[in-house]
Structure 1
Amino acid sequence: MGKDNEARVSVEIAGSTAVVLLDNPGQLNALTKDMCLQLVGAFAGLSTNDEVSSIVVRGAAGNFCAGIAIDEMDQVLFDRDADGELINHFDLLDKIIVGCPKTTIAVVEGHCFGGAWQLASACDIQLASDNVRLAITPARIGLVFPRPGIERLVRTVGEHRAKYLLFSGAEISIAEAERWGMFTRVIAQGRLEEELAALLGKLAANSPYSIARTNEAINLVRQGEATEGWWEAMWEENGANADLAEGRSAFYSRRTPDYGGLPQ
């Protein structure tokens, strides 16, 4: 890792899965500007890696993330380019995760404070340990939560709960977070790795075409951009796609399907 206090992001690829690790344990894996830039670069590279179908985002040393590093908040959220234009590196990171064509999974354990929930919720799936401590805390320091985080929080928990979470900055129990739908699944800490492995196994066994096009459809529906023309073109393609032919053949032959790669 280099220096013990060095904040960094590492990427490890095993089979079809990439693990993106937030590694800044001295600040509970809070994000620095350099970490945001590393994350954007990592996702850009993994998005075009034909060998990778799933990306897992998690934190080092038993914690997920403590949001934005306070001592780098100006550099992360209010940076300026050479022309003086405002740059929000956290919003750019959110955008590249949401737009990633691969299946993204946040593994959330320990501390999940500040913008950490937004980071996790940008992923397709969130697996949370039952030891998670969750609070969305921008009001404690005079900050407004970023737009993608507010919009996603309102969609997830509703207007009144979003106001409670953002106005108060209160820590809520993992049971409340589960009831409010803030994570896809909440799992006992001792079973987290087992459940993650099982999920990755299911994803690897299923059709890359089906998963990718379904993900695209859900994102377009959420954005209000799923046009009639897009659905018609996708449905035409759907009936003729090679994964469907292989899946049906495998079903009739009672064998494991051998699917191809992601659709172009």
Structure 2
Amino acid sequence: MKNLTFLAIGALAFSCQPAQEKETAEETVPVYQKPAHHSESLTKVFDAHGGHEQWSTMKSLSYKKGEESTITNLQNRKIRLESPNQTIGFDGQDVWVTPDSVDASRARFYHNLYFYFYAMPFVVGDPGANYEDVEPKELDGKTYSGIKVSYNAGVGDAPDDNYIVWYDPETGKMEWLMYTVTYRSGEPSDKFSLIKYGTWQEFNGVVLPTSLQWFQYDGESVGEARGEATPFENIQITADAPDESLFAMPEGAQVAPK
């Protein structure tokens, strides 16, 4: 899972703003250009979720998962997670944790784990990703089209992670995600985990999930749900950048080991 286990992983330090600027007589107007590495099938999925152009104009994403609140700068992927017992942040260079009494050993793995799953499918549009259309697959009684996503060497904390985005071939809407996890072992894996994206809602022109449900998966068929679905609340995505001071490492914080 790309930093997703890092999954997230995966392209944390990269910006999703594929825009150039065009001079006019009155002002400088940003002009969207589709990233050259995006495939036709991936663009279809993006379009079903509001479009990569709309996503690329967004600068701040925040949500609440249980007692944990997260805010992310979408342009530089700095992030801050606050929960009752700890705060985790990424300032663009280091992952930090406070208070200093908290075990920071998992923080680098965890800091963008849920963000990466939550911001699907758009996060797989980051630079350094490669796409391959795969054979259709039946999941839970329905046949889906699939896009396998891999990463160039050196991209993110776990460049050997792979994802497969499964989408409705008629609507383009993403419904399942398969992912591998290589963050701790450092070795490529062909064992996929499975998430269902069953509920979507539009926020500021971007279609985002309101819950994620993990399922057991044996490599061939979908098994039982793994616990309760994970709900996301207080979802906000805006074109206004969050205050950079939110991501600055506070005095006395620990730096999470890489």
Q: State TM-score, norm by structure 1.
A: 0.25
| Rg larger in structure | 1
Larger relative contact order, structure 1 or 2 (CA cutoff 8 Å, min sep 6): 2
